Amino acid sequence: MKKKVKVIVIRTAGTNCDYETVTAFKLCGAEVDLVHINRLLEKEINVMDYQILAIPGGFSYGDDVASGKILANEIQYRLMESISKYVAAKRLIIGICNGFQVLVKTGLLPGIDGIDKKEYTTLFNNDSGKFEDRWVHLKSTSKKCVFTKGIKNLSYLPVAHGEGKFLTLDKKILDFIKNNDMVVFKYVNANGGRAVYPENPNGSVEAIAGICNPGGNILGMMPHPERFVNRYTHPRWTRVTLPEEGDGLALFRNAVEFAKKNL
């Protein structure tokens, strides 16, 4: 019997997109374990037993201090040794919304110096000053990222966040990300052109919605691909003809197919 790709989806207090993320990976044929962060901290679970690690959306620990900061600290100061080995082995990591916030606060993204605790980027309060819950158009802009290989040029996915404005420490960091093909998604309008509010829902610099590390195996994005894996979760599924598969599913399938090659 062929081995299945194993995925670990991390949850903690306040996580609320874990079941959707589990479902997305299962639809792509993976074996998925939903694991509380404490089981990793207490070394009951070894992250190296998995080919893909996912940090889903939500409001981990109520987003006290700052979005994703407490979970990021747990990973940074108690798990980074094992996570470093995981990344060095070219395993895959995806952080969605709150998970993206966690990845930038650990330094796993943009990962300029490999595994570095320094925060070169951040996700700040939306320019609108309010929680943004809407659907947005995204343009795929990276040939490097494992998760987006061959996906449609334009995708339609939902966002739901209060701190989603992508910023870099300085222009040199932004230039590094752009010059190394690490911008994975940009917010665009329905025609694929320049996005202004509300098409760019948070005011992110250069409308950046997601980035990867230099190796292309770690992806962080604010929009929620796990919330659109079939036509029934599209806002107009009763009014327009849609394909059975939602735009978000391809990202999870790409990850699973990539991981299969290394089983």
CA distance to 29, 80, 82, 149, per residue, from 85 (Å)? 25, 9, 5, 25
pLDDT of residue 59: 96
CA separation (Å) from 65 to 72, 114, 162, 210?
Answer: 11, 26, 14, 23
User: What number is the average pLDDT over the span 25-34?
Assistant: 98
Question: Side-chain half-sphere of 150: how many Cα atoms within 13 Å?
Answer: 8
* Distance from C-alpha of 22 to C-alpha of 56, rounded to nearest angstrom: 9
Between 117 and 247, whose confidence is greater? 247
Higher-confidence residue of 65 and 141: namely: 141
pLDDT digits (tens, 9 = 90+) for 150-206: 999 999 999 999 999 999 989 999 999 999 999 999 999 999 999 999 999 999 999
Dihedral of CA 39/17/215/104: which sign? negative
Task: Examine the residue annotation and report whether 257 is marked as an active-site residue of this protein.
Answer: no
**pLDDT of 113 over the 90 cut:** no
Q: Give the per-residue pLDDT at 114.
A: 61
224 is catalytic: yes
The CA-to-CA distance between both ends of the chain, in Å, stands at: 13
**pLDDT tens-digit map of 45-66:** 999 999 999 999 999 999 988 9
Q: Is the pLDDT of residue 115 over 60?
A: no
Q: CA-CA distance, 94 to 255, in Å (whole number)?
A: 9
The pLDDT of residue 119: 85
Residue 239: is its pLDDT beyond 80? yes
Say how far apart CA 185 and CA 145 lie, in whole Å.
Answer: 10
Q: How many CB atoms lie within 10 A of CB 49?
A: 9
Q: How confident is the model at residue 262 (pLDDT cuts 50, 70, 90)?
A: confident
Strand partners, 161: 132
116 pLDDT higher than 70: no
Q: With CA atoms as reference, report the closest residue to 17 among 216, 159, 203, 198.
A: 159
**For the chain, what percent of residues have pLDDT higher than 70?**
98
Backbone angles phi, psi at 27, to 5 degrees: -60, -25
| Ramachandran area for residue 86 (φ above 0: left; ψ -120 to 50: alpha; else beta) | alpha
pTM of the model: 0.96
55 in the Ramachandran plot: left (φ > 0), alpha (ψ -120 to 50) or beta?
beta
Which stretch of DSSP H or E encloses residue 87?
helix 80-88
pLDDT over 60 at 71, yes or no: yes
- pLDDT of the residue at 162: 97
- Model confidence at 263, pLDDT cuts 50, 70, 90, reads confident
Among residues 20, 74, 163, 226, the one annotated as catalytic is: 226
d(CA 97, CA 127): 17
Whether the CB-CB separation of 101 and 61 falls below 8 Å is answered with no
Alpha carbon distance 134, 199 (integer Å):
9
- For 205-231, the pLDDT digits (tens) are 999 999 999 999 999 999 999 999 999
Provide mean pLDDT across the span 225-248: 95
pLDDT reading at 1 higher than 70: no
State the average pLDDT for the chain.
95
Tokens of 36: 């509380």
Q: Which of 137, 161, 224, 234 is catalytic?
A: 224
pLDDT(112) > 90: no
Name the residue ranges covered by the structural domains of the chain: 6-260
6-260 is classed CATH 3.20.20.70: no
Of 17, 97, 145, 212, the active-site residue reads 97
Phi, psi of 103, deg, nearest 5: -65, -40
Residue 226 a catalytic site member: yes
CA distances for 218 relative to 21, 53, 93, 256, 263, angstroms:
16, 9, 5, 14, 18
